[in-house]
Amino acid sequence: MSRSAPHIDDTLLAEAAAILGTSELTATVNAALADVVGRRKREQFADWVKAGGLHRAYPELDER
């Protein structure tokens, strides 16, 4: 991916680094991005399960 120079809030960066246990800018940004993507994917999966997706995908679960 191309390099860019976005403005990053120093206070948020420091808080994120403390939470994520990182010490370098790139590591902090990458860890924060991975955290956001992972959280959203888990939320989407949970919504899918709540909407009955698991039972639609595996109807044999209803037989138990």
This model's pTM is above 0.85 = no
- The alpha carbon dihedral of 5, 10, 11, 17 has a sign of positive
pLDDT digits over 15-40, tens only? 999 999 999 999 999 999 999 999 99
* Number of structural domains in the chain: 1
Which domain does 25 fall in, by range? 10-63
The CA-based angle 40-45-51, given to 5 degrees, is: 125
DSSP state for residue 58 in the 8-state scheme: -
Asked whether residue 52 is assigned to any structural domain, the reply reads: yes
Q: What is the dihedral of CA 29, 7, 19, 47, to 10 degrees?
A: -70
Domain assignment of residue 5, yes or no: no
**Token reading at 8:** 């990053």
Alpha-carbon span 48 to 58, nearest angstrom: 13
pLDDT tens for each residue of 42-54:
999 999 999 999 9
